[in-house]
Amino acid sequence: MINGLDIERFRTTMAAVENDHTKGKAALRADSRWVSGTKNEISVRRFPAFTTDEPKTWAVKTPPQIRWNT
């Protein structure tokens, strides 16, 4: 066990997926709701919603004439 991860179980799972790739398939559904500007609220079933925004590094590299938040 490392950082709460059962390494032996993880290795067993990885070996199973390597032998049969269909075992590694997963289906997720995410719902996105526009909040304002570049902010969106995203939720995935059984997980709490989270909000995303334009990363600050984008604003640094964006020319001043097209920046939203100057």
Cα–Cα dist 16/51, whole Å: 35
Cα–Cα dist 42/62, whole Å: 25
> In this predicted structure, what is the pLDDT of residue 32?
87
What global pTM score does this model have? Answer: 0.39
> In this predicted structure, what is the pLDDT of residue 11?
94
- For 59, phi then psi, to 5°, come to -65, -35
- What strands lie across the sheet with 39-44, from one edge to the other? 30-36, 39-44, 50-52
Residue ranges of the chain whose pLDDT lies below 70: 47-70
Structure tokens at 47: 């997980």
Cα–Cα dist 49/19, whole Å: 35
> In this predicted structure, what is the pLDDT of residue 70?
47
29-43 pLDDT, tens digit each: 888 888 888 888 888
